[in-house]
Structure 1
């Protein structure tokens, strides 16, 4: 018994000594010229215990104590957290070339075909080639214009469904319905299939993307604790490999169907209607002998996965947050509807081409993205040593830019917790004196789509879908909720800032211009 007591005492002394050494060491190094300020870390875990279920909120609270630039150890991974516009600009603009890579993880390596994936590929020739393709062909203006009828039709289908439910007074889970809209838009644009009809492959896409979003959003010990690197303690690896195989089998089948259609088209000499989905465009590029780089089948599959993961939950969640805010602020809802009635009228459905004439609607979307960014944390990794705000940041340090915290910084936003779209509406004097705040990464106090070279290439598509869907929902319906009419705005856990409770409401038809469109 005495030996056990002595052993326990030794372990306790070693534990306390480790913490004391870490505190002393952190105080000596967390000065100008060393690493940024840091809380006391635990052995092995580092600061993982401080993250909580919603990391961006926990990091925001820590930054209020340790400043806009902090150093944290997540297990054995060294990280820095930027929580102000000024520090974010240092990382994403001044020293952008040092932070153009994204860190690898078990989930990304398995699901996204490793180095074949564009979103997580290292900054280099392949990444530059794919980024140029995205901006010029895949997600460029001409392609988006050609696929406009797809977006228009899916929004009208959604509105018609809501109109049917309004006749019976049926309540609607808007999260589910908006995800269907986004899924159908992406699925039809990508591979000419809808996700909610009888098409089994398209339905499987929806289920797989949901499972992928769930798995990639969970904390995996193997990514942060060095001695767990080759272990699958949580069983994620097995599930990831299963999801990857199912996705690969499905996309391979769809690709072969597209290739059969292409072959028959060439044999018959028929050119079709000239509108190609993104998979056809990718297959064209892969067969182009003059292309800068040869696209492999894995490159194509990885891109299809990227656009589904990036384009479904994010658009749906942003629209859901916007409607929730408008229900809680009826005066803003009324003002938005008056703008639409004035610019569009009541005899036709608002269209994408009308958005430029709806500045207040655009302001509502910007204010929603400020308070509820669907990418609350930008994640990068340094490739070389650099100095930020006087502190040394070594190579291979993981960077988290807390977009959620930056959007609530009182230094840049008056009454930052208020939902006030007017802050984005410029009067005539302001229009001649300064540029309007945008969401494309040029203004570092508003970064919902990232910034610089690694900024989201699908920003234009996302804004088209969100703005047009939201405008049509405002134009055609009132949205009623049970109880006192207030919507709970609590955030849930997840990578894309979901609501803790899905928005369930009853659509009340105001007018139905889509029936004659």
Structure 2
């Protein structure tokens, strides 16, 4: 399918075979990004991992991400941090549940969890929820993250109609420039703090150590861009996925029951699920595209295609038990050279959190009915309504999280 976004030609890919052709067979050809104003003003002039065009600079960023940030050894070094934050979440949920007759609004808590895990890994600071580090900085950071998310949902008309590129409708570009300047000052201050205290086990300090030996690769701007992308891309996506998973489990109680039985059988009730336990839990050709064309993989359509999936609209985790599904049929982390390098972190965070909630609480909906699954139209596909559920602590909760 082809259409136009303003003056830009766009191709929509609707089959898994075409997705594989575009993003595996011909992924180098389609590895660059359109030069939208978001990339210029919010991504250090197209130099971050998400906004940079394919080339030497992007390959260097990908190398840094794979070898220095998301490498299994680096992620494993923060295992105790993730364990501590998830345990704190279980205690917080238990307390709120007891105070509110079981009702718990989970969306904000899960978002706090993902931000705190990522920011503590990066900078050793908790900016969300309880026991925040440096309240003034925390409030400023939260505000900037909210602004970033809002900007990502908006489209600048000049990106689609270049003749309008010099018209700043509604002050959109001006607001982006202001936020970008404030974010840069905040991140530079964070780097300077780490230069003055090199003893903390954080990713920023690790990158600064690499800067001393390879200054041409690890400039301050590159480090700030890496912090920004991790904070933006590694938080709301995991939080939204967890929320959808919880909703699907509550609307498919037989699946929730199987997951709980597996946890009880494999782990018992004497300790909270840990990352090393996860491996035990099996249930949990030729279209010419003109240069400059944007290509979108229609994941929504492919994931609901009855020619690709048996009974696609029903929640069936068991369909993935016999082996990893072909990536071009699911695309949870993208595909090809531009696929998300944070997949390993996301798997650890989501499985640990979801498993802990299943292990520690009995779940129900607030009114006993199915959860509304309406979707919000935005850059990130989240639910229209914040998730509120009934969570009752299981009898052995204190023993599990002690």
TM bracket, shorter-chain basis: over 0.9
User: Which residue of structure 1 aligns with residue 397 of structure 2?
Assistant: 512
Partners of 2:348 and 2:172 lie apart in 1 by 35
Asked if structure 1 preserves the Cα contact closer than 8 Å seen for 2:122 and 2:227, the reply is yes
- The 2-side partners of 1:399 and 1:338 are apart by 43
Alignment partner of 1:132 is 2:68? no
What's the offset of the Cα at 1:421? 1.2
Matched, 1:280 2:205: yes
Q: What's the CA shift for 1:182?
A: 0.2
The RMSD of aligned alpha carbons is 1.6
Local SS of the residue matching 2:63: helix
1:198 Cα deviation from its structure 2 partner: 4.7
3-state SS in 2 of match to 1:392: coil
Deviates more, 1:188-197 or 1:390-399: 390-399
Distance 1:513 1:453 in 2: 45
Q: Are 2:289 and 1:404 aligned?
A: no
How do residues 184-199 of structure 1 correspond to structure 2 at under 5 angstroms?
184-196=116-128, 197-199=132-134
Question: Quick one: structure 1 residues 256 and 489, their matched pair in 2 at CA, closer, same or farther if it must change by over 3 Å?
Answer: same
Aligned residue pairs, count: 396
Query: Residues 288-319 of structure 1: CA distance to partner in whole angstroms, max 9, x if unpaired?
Result: 14x7x432211111111100111111111111
If asked which structure has higher relative contact order (CA below 8 Å, sep 6+), I would say 2
Aligned equivalents of 1:282 and 1:206: distance in 2? Answer: 24
1:172 matched to 2:56? no
Q: Which residue of 2 aligns with 1:232?
A: 168
* Higher radius of gyration, 1 or 2: 1
- 1:360-439 to structure 2, matched below 5 A, reads 360-361=283-284, 389-426=285-322, 436-438=323-325
Indicate if the aligned counterparts of 2:60 and 2:217 stay in contact, CA closer than 8 A: no
8 A contact 1:220–1:234 mirrored in 2: no
The 2-side partners of 1:501 and 1:294 are apart by 43
Aligned to 1:379: none
Q: Tell me the TM-score normalised to structure 1 length.
A: 0.74
What is the distance in 2 between the residues matched to 1:479 and 1:296? 48
Match of 1:350 among 273, 280, 283: 273
Report matched runs for 1:460-475 at 5 Å.
460-475=344-359
Moved more, 151-160 or 205-214: 205-214
Q: Select which of 193, 214, 219 maps to 2:150.
A: 214
Unaligned runs of 5+ in 2: none
* Partners of 1:410 and 1:480 in 2: CA distance: 30
The answer for the alignment partner of 2:339 in structure 1 is 455
How far apart, CA to CA, are the structure 2 residues paired with 1:190 and 1:422?
Answer: 35
5+ long unaligned stretches in structure 1: 1-69, 263-271, 362-388, 427-435
| 2:194 pairs with 1:307 | no
